[in-house]
Amino acid sequence: MHYLLTVIGDTTNEVDDSEPGAVDAFNEQLKTDGRWVFGGGLTSPDHATVTDNRSGAPVFSDGPFVESKEYLAGFWVVEADDLDAALQLSAGASKACNRKIEVRPFDGLA
Amino acid sequence: MTDLDEIITRVHRDEWARVVATIARRFGDLDIAEDAAAEAFAIAVERWPADGVPPNPGAWLTTTAGHKALDRVRRESKRGDKQKQAHMFTEQTSGPPDPLGAVDDERLRLVFTCAHPALAMEARVALTLRMVGGLTVAEIARAFLVQETTMGQRITRAKAKIKAAGIPYRVPEVEDLPARVDGVLAVLYLVFNEGYLASSAETDPIRADLTGEAVRLTRLVRELLPEDGEVAGLLALMLLIEARRSARVSTHGELVTLDQQDRGAWDRTLIDEGHALVRERLRSGEPPGRYQVLAAINAVHTDARDARDTEWSQVVALYDQLVRLDPSPVVTLNRAIAVAELDGPHVALAQVDALAEPLDGYHAFHATRADLLRRLGRSADARAAYDRAIDLAGNTAESAYLTRRRDELGAGQ
């Protein structure tokens, strides 16, 4: 199965206080173990643009789609046999980036 | 109840979890397993009166449930319901052998899956009672005072998450086992506590159906994980509390505190079994977890033929050990109650008062303070504390006890 590991950022504490190199080492491990699908950090939600083309005339507007204290700071897509395996990876991810992680399965990958 | 009804009830109690677990393993789907098991028991109720009870009822039920499950899978695949197939949980055939001396039993997978930490606590409780305990949705709904439809949805949602999130149907890896066993025990202890001291005024103060079910399920987990110290500890703890059940509420429906209980009414068989488990754990020489320490505390209490013979120094020493394992305010509060017996209410009150901030919303905090203040002759303060405790207590037997204690205080001080 594929799982999305979402890094939960916090607007009240935006400093990256992860240990230097920890995320790189975690990524390398994922690749070595054949768990890596894709991943990356995102810039601040301030830099987000929202596109709405539901009516056929695209409207672009500034800002994140939802204002909240917690935001999406980055993510991994990993390959894991089941939730227990994904949770184990997420524990490593949380430690590496020093953030909370949400784990959600993909309902199939395109 | 006829003999046959009794047999069916017993078979249901003994075989339900095994039937569900076996079908769940074979078809990779809890929902199919639950429905198939329920259908198999319904067929048994219909057929056994005429055909007689089969020589091996468990095998008969498993076979019948297997046919029902297969029928359903065929029906659904004919309808092209591929969604179901895609999310079947994967069967783990390899895996580590014999973790903690676990007995190879399908039911163990079921227990761990139902109590998985990725599920909300209330969902774990409901799922465990339904899938492992075999209670009906209506029974579980009544036990937790929610609408049957609400409870049904809770269980359906939990089953859906297990499937969609890929919660595996297996015994956890050895390194995860202690934490996962702890999660299972937390579910059982919650069920027991709700029975032991019902939190709502709308039910009986003690609910023997729930304590009995918790004991039964803990016995099952003990059978499946015979080497686990905390499993033994929790079973001992439950037995030693359950043994005092009939002495805990008076005929007027009022709580009877430990020091006032008729110790002759305690169930000696359960006490002996609990003591034997505590001794077994002491002999193991392994450092005890919190359930084992709690069981040991209850063993000291149940060892005393008279409340005055209680070895309070031992109780306090065990609480010291418990505080090291679980330094929560509630544990500190319970320790202070023992300290009052050893060092007097004055010393205990100082320790209790220090917990005012975290425990202000907890009725037992105010009840404990009230009792200590009463013993120190501070009647007006005691009365105020009893008032707070009565406001917060949900259990009818406890409210009745606290009200009487308050009303016995001298007036106008």
Q: Do A82 and B164 touch (CB under 8 A)?
A: no
Q: Which residues of B touch A103 (CB under 8 A)?
A: 165
Shortest distance between the Cα of B98 and any Cα of chain A, in A, equals: 19
Q: Do B164 and A105 touch (CB under 8 A)?
A: yes
The domain over range B3-86 is classified in CATH as 1.20.120: no
Centre a 10 Å sphere on the Cβ of residue B410 and count the other Cβ atoms it contains.
10
Shortest distance between the Cα of B109 and any Cα of chain A, in A, equals: 13
Q: Which residue of B166, B173, B176 is in closest CB contact with A83?
A: B166
Task: Identify the CATH assignment for A2-105 out of 3.90.870.10, 3.20.20.70, 3.40.50.150, 3.30.70.1060.
Answer: 3.30.70.1060
Chain mean position to CA B40: 28
CB–CB of B159/B189 below 8 Å? no
Could you tell me the CA-to-CA distances from B48 to B53, B65, B157 in Å, in that order?
5, 15, 34
DSSP conformation class of A46: G
Compute the C-alpha angle B111/B166/B77, nearest 5°.
100
Q: Which residues of A touch B166 (CB under 8 A)?
A: 1, 3, 80-83, 86, 105
Q: Does A59 touch chain B (CB under 8 A)?
A: no
| pLDDT of the residue at B411 | 62
Q: Which residues contact B321 (CB under 8 A, 6 or more apart)?
A: B288, B293
Q: Which residues of B touch A81 (CB under 8 A)?
A: 90, 166, 168
Q: Which residues of A touch B164 (CB under 8 A)?
A: 105, 107
Inter-helix orientation angle B229-242/B290-303, to 10°: 30
Chain mean position to CA B186: 7
Q: Which residues of A touch B165 (CB under 8 A)?
A: 83, 103-105
- In the Cβ-directed half-sphere of B149, how many Cα atoms lie within 13 Å? 0
Q: Which residues of A touch B168 (CB under 8 A)?
A: 81-84
- Cβ-Cβ contacts under 8 Å between A and B: the total is 30
The 10s digit of each residue's pLDDT in A28-67 is: 999 999 999 999 998 888 888 888 888 888 888 888 777 7
Locate B397 and state its tokens: 């037997």
Locate B219 and state its tokens: 């016995």
Q: Residue A39: in which H helix or E strand, if any?
A: strand A36-41
Which residues is A104 bridged to in the sheet?
Answer: A4
Q: Which residues contact B393 (CB under 8 A, 6 or more apart)?
A: B363, B367, B399, B402
In tens digits, chain B (413 residues) has pLDDT values of: 678 889 999 999 899 999 999 999 999 999 999 999 999 999 999 999 999 999 999 999 999 999 999 999 999 888 765 554 444 554 444 444 445 556 668 899 999 999 999 999 999 999 999 999 999 999 899 888 899 999 999 999 999 999 999 999 988 888 888 889 999 999 999 999 988 887 777 778 888 888 999 999 999 999 999 999 999 999 999 999 999 999 999 998 999 999 999 999 999 999 999 999 999 999 999 999 999 999 999 999 999 999 999 999 999 999 999 999 999 999 999 999 999 999 999 999 999 999 999 999 999 999 999 999 999 999 999 999 999 999 999 889 999 999 999 999 976 44
Shortest CA distance from A103: residue in chain B: B165
The 10s digit of each residue's pLDDT in A58-68 is: 888 888 777 78
Distance separating alpha carbons of residues A65 and B306, to the nearest angstrom: 68
CB–CB of A70/A101 below 8 Å? no
Amino acid found at B290: R
Q: Which of B167, B171, B175 has the most A C-beta neighbours within 10 Å, making it the best mutation to test the interface with A?
A: B167
Enumerate the CATH 1.10.1740 domain ranges in chain B, comma separated.
3-86
Could you tell me the CA-to-CA distances from B160 to B121, B157, B170, B184 in Å, in that order?
16, 5, 17, 20
Q: Residue A40: in which H helix or E strand, if any?
A: strand A36-41
Q: Does A62 touch chain B (CB under 8 A)?
A: no
| pLDDT of the residue at A11 | 81
Distance separating alpha carbons of residues B363 and B397, to the nearest angstrom: 13
- In the Cβ-directed half-sphere of B388, how many Cα atoms lie within 13 Å? 20
Q: Residue B372: in which H helix or E strand, if any?
A: helix B363-375
Distance separating alpha carbons of residues B11 and B5, to the nearest angstrom: 10
